Amino acid sequence: MIPCDLYPVLPASFEADALFDILPALLAHPEVTALRFPIKHTLDKAQFSRVLALLHDNDVALMLDVPDGFSALSADLMKVADGLHAPSADSLPTLRKLAGDDIQIGCLCQSRDEAMLAGESGADYIAFAVDHADMIRWWTSVMELPAVAENIQTVDEAATATTASADFLAIPLKLDGTDETLFSSLLASLQG
């Protein structure tokens, strides 16, 4: 058992073949509990249904990555999404209004003040860059909302984030054949 959950993050654009080459293996890891998926994806309906089936089969939440300035949410996407990831606390009030109270919303924060504002604005989790381990440590010691360490790309970054008590490690996927190796290395280091 590892001290936190893994939260893979898909790039803003990707090829369906590359996604399906790696996604089943990654989602099979029980430590993976959520997948951040770009809201402006280019998958066709059948491909997206396949992603949803993989997520469902592995009990992994679908978190839609919402870019800055996004002002409308597809009703079809909202029916299948478990949550939204906002680029900043400034986006939270608009997203909460669009999505309602029954969906998880988290956001990336660059400061303690922004994190507290996000919490007050209804965020369900707060994300910090891994190089802000001091903020992750502070947040997890004084707040109840989960902390996500963003952009984990190495075993050392994962160790830094878990030492700071991050609840989730957000791992950007490259879909270039290296993701499974990174996941295996992260899991081995976190279990040991």
Summarize pLDDT for 68-100 with one digit per residue, the tens: 877 778 888 889 999 999 999 999 999 998 898
Identity of residue 102? D
Cα–Cα distances (Å) from 186 to 2, 153, 155, 158, 174, in that order, read 10, 9, 5, 7, 15
Q: How far apart are CA 78 and CA 49, in angstroms?
A: 14
> What residue ranges do the domains of the chain occupy?
5-191
* pTM of this structure: 0.96
Q: What is the predicted pLDDT for the residue at 108?
A: 97
pLDDT along the chain (192 residues), means of 10: 94 96 97 96 95 98 91 86 95 90 95 96 96 98 98 98 98 96 95 82
- What is the CA angle 102-106-109, rounded to 5? 155
Answer CATH for 5-191 from 1.10.10.10, 3.40.50.720, 3.30.365.10, 3.20.20.70: 3.20.20.70
The 3-state DSSP class for residue 59 equals: coil
Q: What is the predicted pLDDT for the residue at 7?
A: 98
Q: What is the predicted pLDDT for the residue at 17?
A: 97
Q: Give Cβ neighbours of residue 170 (< 8 Å, ≥ 6 apart).
A: 7, 8, 9, 36, 127, 148, 149, 150, 151, 152
